[in-house]
Structure 1
């Protein structure tokens, strides 16, 4: 007995998402570290395994009636593992339970919206961006629900649209980090009683140290912004609410620069670069602005001479 239409539709979705993962892997501008790229390939392979099992497993029957809302162990295990890989690598832009897209034709389940990436201190602009992304995802999910057994190009298009939105949502995490580094969001600190602690350069490559020194020479104060999931953040701040600020992100194990972002004051346009050479060029060409104490300007543009 051949696979049911429900299983074939689920297999089609699995192969489509596997292709999305491989396309993202092949784009050097999308995934910025080896762990993320490896995770995408692993997810693609697991989805291929699930698709093959869905296409070839004999459907069960009960009193002569074919059971359509069940999935064999091999497919279920591959999908659960893929979810685990995605949850451990949020930067790849696959939500923690993304395989709900695959199981929907079989189980009739809804696809959950991803968890919020905003903390309690997120500003209104980021909250609005996340709300817009959630609304768009909800609309895409509605279209996929209308034709759960479809295996046409329309379904492929909606799945690509959904994962493009998930990618944008994953990027909000970086925006939240940048927003937290804004001068106006920094907690007040007691007056210093001595010289500020020097930035720990242990483990950084000479080229990385050179980029940090270049930033400091242009008036950006470098400080340790902590380490998360193998990426160390070095914050840059020229001072004042309209001053230039941003981060340089460095691989904890390699000590190499991964990417950087610089912003001209609160509400300014964020400029990004990835890779050590591009980051050095970004810093070198930056026109750093330090906002004076007691500034009463309403915007960064008004603050600048």
Structure 2
């Protein structure tokens, strides 16, 4: 399967996951987001490729629209998830940066989240031919990135406590 078809398949699966997992008080916003993701998938399948490794402009515009929606509204979905869908083309998989937690418990949570993300990516679940496995992988990555964002806020607050200021991180980045 070409990188473009793989990305289109991931985007279509992501649109389905968004419809089932996104939250927004105005339901039409969820449909708008899912529609932008589907538009990107359709554009990947129908627009000519100008340069290998590049996303065709109509698809890039739709991905940008979806990214803007995810960053401007809280759908309970991190914008990083779009990077997993387009990574077959771009060759860049979103990362989950290590946090510099001084608290051992928070550092362990960080390591656990990053290990679970790595398991999904490295075990090839995003390349599965089974639509349910692909959808579950995308949903799992959404949850892990969301938890990591919340953990980052908790680490920042914990590191600023007077008793923790100036302490070295509990674990060094691996």
Q: TM-score, normalising length from structure 1?
A: 0.43
User: Whose strand proportion is higher, 1 or 2?
Assistant: 1
2:45 aligned residue: 55
Q: 1:152 aligns with which of 123, 130, 133?
A: 130
After superposing on structure 2, the runs of 4+ consecutive aligned residues of structure 1 that deviate more than 6 Å are none
TM superposition shift of 1:45: 2.0
1:76 aligned residue: 60
Specify whether residues 84 and 127 from structure 1 end up closer, same or farther in structure 2 by C-alpha distance, changes over 3 A only: farther
Matched pairs, number: 162
CA distance in 2, matches of 1:174, 1:41: 29
TM superposition shift of 1:115: 4.6
2:84 aligned residue: 101
1:1-305 pair list within 5 angstroms: 5-25=2-22, 31=23, 34=25, 40-59=30-49, 69-89=53-73, 92-94=76-78, 96-107=79-90, 109-115=91-97, 123-144=103-124, 147=127, 150-153=128-131, 154-172=133-151, 175-176=154-155, 185=161
CA distance in 2, matches of 1:50, 1:125: 40
Deviations 1:6-41 (A, max 9, x none): 22211110111112222123xxxxx4x648x77654
Q: TM-score, normalising length from structure 2?
A: 0.70
CA contact (8 A) 1:47 1:79 kept: yes
Unaligned runs of 5+ in 2: 164-174
Specify whether residues 142 and 126 from structure 1 end up closer, same or farther in structure 2 by C-alpha distance, changes over 3 A only: same
Unaligned runs of 5+ in 1: 26-30, 61-66, 188-305
